[in-house]
Chains A and B, each alone.
Chain A
Amino acid sequence: MNTDSLGPDGDFGEDLEPAIQEAVAQAFRDTVREENAGRMHASEAERGNKRQRVVLAKRRSSRPVVRTITELEDQTDVGKELASHLVWLQLMLSLRKMLLTVVVLVSIPLVFLWVPSLGSTTILGLRVPWLLLGLAVYPFFIAVAWSYNRSADRNEQDFADWVGN
């Protein structure tokens, strides 16, 4: 599997299977068609009853959003696919960060075991194991957490933007 396509930097829309893109585009076209059909009815009625159609606000931009969100909530096939794609993306992100953390933590005791001399090496007057476990791990955790937050936020942002378009 190409993990790059799942990366936090990837554009959400581009990652989707073409089939889903097509399905959502179809849903969008359906919406437009319905709207046009509605207008046609209105203009027919106008001719007959001399009624004026009053347009208070353009709804063109909000309609598809509602449509896609409804689609998500109503669990249509498109909605399900969209949701599970987001879940998959976020899961892969979490697993990658977790793997990084676990590999680092698990390798520390192994390195101490294989290279005992490291136990008595000092940096700035402090022993490496103390420096590593007492001090350095915390900035590492914070860095992992910070980069995770950024990527997870971006995934959600992309998803929301994409649903909104």
Chain B
Amino acid sequence: MPDKNDLYVTVIAVLAIALWFTLTGRYSARVRSTPDFLWASRMAGPRWNAAAISGEYLSAASFLGIAGLVFKGGVDALWYPVGFAAGYLAMLLFVAAPLRRSGAYTLPDFAEIRLNCVRLRWVCTAFVVIIGWLYLVPQLQGAGLTLQAVTDQPKWVGATVVMVIATFNIYSGRLRSITIMQAFQYWIKLTALAVPVFVLLIHNAGEDPGFRNSLDASAPPSFSQATEVTLDHDVELQVTEPVRFTAVGRVDGQPVQGVVRWERDSKHRVGKDTTLYFDAGSPVPVVDGATGKNSTWLRPMSYGKHPLLATYSLLVALLLGTMGLPQVLGRYYTDPDGRTARRTTLLVLVLLGVFYLFPTVSGWLARLYVPQLLVNGNTDAALLMLPRTALGGWPALLLGGLIEAGAFAAFVSAATGLVVSVAGVLSTDVLPGRLRDFRVATLAAWSVPLVFVLAGSSLDLAQGVELAFAVAASSFCPLLVLGIWWRGLTDAGAAAGILAGGGLAVVAVLLAAAGVLSPGWQTVLAQPAVFTVPLAFLSMVMVSRRTRDRVPADVSRILLRLHAPDRLGLAEKRELGQLKSRVGIIALALSRMPLSRISLSRIRIGRHRRPA
């Protein structure tokens, strides 16, 4: 159970991250004029920009979630990191270079540049907000879980800490750090994960071979030492080997205080606040939904109810969802041209490939060292508890602190980027644009995810993030792909596709997150992409065909601009300082000066019309 040292280490880790964000913000805020900004970002080159993109992309799901899912579900969970990386491959093949040449800074920008329709812009805006909110939930949830696991604080404390750090950054006008600072984020996260994993692997090599090979056994994991588990919520446990333990609390609806025996292949309900005492060597009963036996855990296609359907749907969501995430797109603006955007994306794939080796290994280590987390189902905390259980003493504190710092860096950077995207869109397109409203909008951007977190979501972090990907894949992916490659797309078609595919995905995702469905429906609706993405594409094409007269007159010119080689100089020559996009202007302005200096109403904002 948490002691004083854990609390100190956590406070130090969180303060260090807060300080880091403040200092980088200070540095970025000094870079004020447009030439400075361009110099700072363009001099960075694709290598730095790739690290910056990866740094922003690796959120709670990548840092804690994947390790937790691998720990719980085994090799099938590896489809998550595979999908997260494959998303950038799809982005490279269909979107990266043309999107950069379009000069769009946000997704609504792209819609307006390509189809010149204000109403479509609103639809896109709404989906940016929805996706941002869905993506924010796991960040806050992860923060709450981290502090709960390590220091036993209630969940809202961690969520509040992230909100305070991020809001402070935003209010003091230091939101989007320049590329180089953002690029360090990647290296911080990689170090915070790789160093503990290496130390643990070395430690593991010195262990008894019988223990090291216990993952091959056709048995559930077992407790390596006498363990006490207190449940913080009701759970249903599945038992694959007979187990005997002492319990105080409620088991199967009966008050219990004494020895309990469970038979092979049975299921039992254990009430909240019950404490279970296991002897060393006792098999671990695992929470319903996790894989019980180690040998099954090692084998593919063993996790969940419809493994094939679930795998494919996950793959569709992650493969096609990445390109539609609101915070990814703006980063590409740093690249000077389309060709550099492609090289940057290739480097992003390299960086992600390196990073994703570590959550996999740590999930595997967690199965050996922290099986007690399978009892209460807090599998997302696996990485955090690993050094504490495996090492003990000051190395545990040091490495534990490092992991916490990396995790908070992930929460804060992802949350800041998302809140800026959502608040920017809310304050410009939804609320009347004044300074006061940006602050109100920031609070509004936090409010909805906070309600979700407090209501308590039963989903794992990586699964929560996947919902955001599913909605992005069903709404913005068809818009981008068809918009870039098909001249027949119309504004009516785009809106219809986004509303049909994205709307249905949102409904499915909300039902899944509410956890009110039967297990079969839960599997299908928690991963709706395999149905909603084709629906979105289909309705977009069909409605566009029916409204052929609405194809923009200058479609050939726009497509040429998107695809012509950079050295012909046909791409729209818009520098950051000349951005006409409202969100772009505001994000840019805010990134360069303290908020108190900006009067948003003074920024002349016009819907840009192309010359006839």
Contact = CB atoms under 8 A, between A and B. Distances in A.
Contact of B90 (A98, A116, A163): A98
Interface string B291-320: 000000011110000011001100100010
Interface residues of A, number: 48
A26 interface: no
B315 A129 contact: no
Contacts of A159: 564-565
Contacts of B92: 145, 148-149
Contact of A83 (B94, B299, B311, B563): B563
B361 to A, nearest CB: 8
Contact of B353 (A86, A101, A141, A153): A141
Nearest to A65: B568
A133 interface: yes
B356 interface: yes
B75 A130 contact: yes
Contacts of B319: 105
Interface in A91-146: 91, 94, 97-98, 101, 105-106, 109-110, 112-113, 116, 119-120, 127, 129-130, 133-135, 137-139, 141-142, 144-146
A129 B299 contact: yes
Contacts of A120: 298-299
B219 interface: no
Nearest to B360: A134
Contacts of A106: 312, 315
B402 interface: no
B350 A72 contact: no
Contact of A142 (B312, B349, B560): B349
A156 interface: yes
B607 interface: no
A149 B75 contact: no
Most buried by B among A138, A152, A157: A138
Nearest to B566: A156
B346 A145 contact: yes
Most buried by A among B307, B339, B568: B568
A87 B560 CA distance: 8
A157 to B, nearest CB: 7
A84 interface: yes
B565 A141 contact: no
Contacts of A105: 82, 86, 315, 319
B85 interface: yes
Given A112-B301, A160-B568, A141 B308 contact: no
Contacts of A97: 93
B345 interface: yes
A116 B79 CA distance: 18
Contact of A112 (B90, B300, B345, B560): B300
B299 A84 contact: no
A119 B300 contact: yes
Interface string B278-302: 0000000000000000000011110
B349 A141 contact: yes
Interface residues of B, number: 49
A116 B554 CA distance: 55
A31 B302 CA distance: 70
Contacts of B312: 106, 109
A133 B554 CA distance: 45
A39 interface: no
Contacts of A109: 300-301, 307-308, 311-312
Contacts of A101: 86, 89-90
Contact of A152 (B97, B307, B350): B97
A140 B93 CA distance: 15
A144 B319 CA distance: 15
A25 B172 CA distance: 61
A141 B85 contact: yes
B87 to A, nearest CB: 10
Nearest to A159: B565
Interface in A22-70: 69
B570 interface: yes
Given A142-B346, A160-B567, A87 B353 contact: no
B342 interface: yes
Contacts of B94: 94, 98
A116 B299 CA distance: 8
Contacts of B299: 116, 119-120, 129
Contacts of A157: 565
A75 interface: yes
Interface string B159-178: 00000000000000000000
Contacts of A72: 560, 564, 568, 570
Nearest to A111: B300
Interface string B309-353: 001100100010000000000000000000100110110011011
B557 interface: yes
Most buried by B among A84, A109, A135, A157: A109
Nearest to A102: B319
Contacts of B78: 129-130, 133-134
Contacts of A91: 485
A92 to B, nearest CB: 11
A152 B349 contact: no
A136 to B, nearest CB: 10
Most buried by B among A98, A110, A134: A134
Contacts of A83: 556, 559-560, 563-564
A161 to B, nearest CB: 9
A87 B85 contact: no
B79 A134 contact: no
Contacts of A133: 75, 78-79, 82, 300
A86 to B, nearest CB: 6
A78 to B, nearest CB: 12
Smallest CB-CB A-B distances: 5 pairs = A138-B353, A156-B565, A133-B78, A119-B299, A112-B300
30 contacts: A69-B568, A69-B570, A73-B557, A83-B556, A86-B564, A98-B90, A98-B93, A101-B89, A105-B82, A109-B300, A119-B300, A119-B301, A127-B75, A127-B298, A129-B298, A129-B300, A130-B360, A133-B79, A133-B82, A135-B357, A138-B85, A138-B353, A138-B356, A138-B357, A141-B85, A141-B353, A148-B92, A149-B346, A153-B342, A160-B567
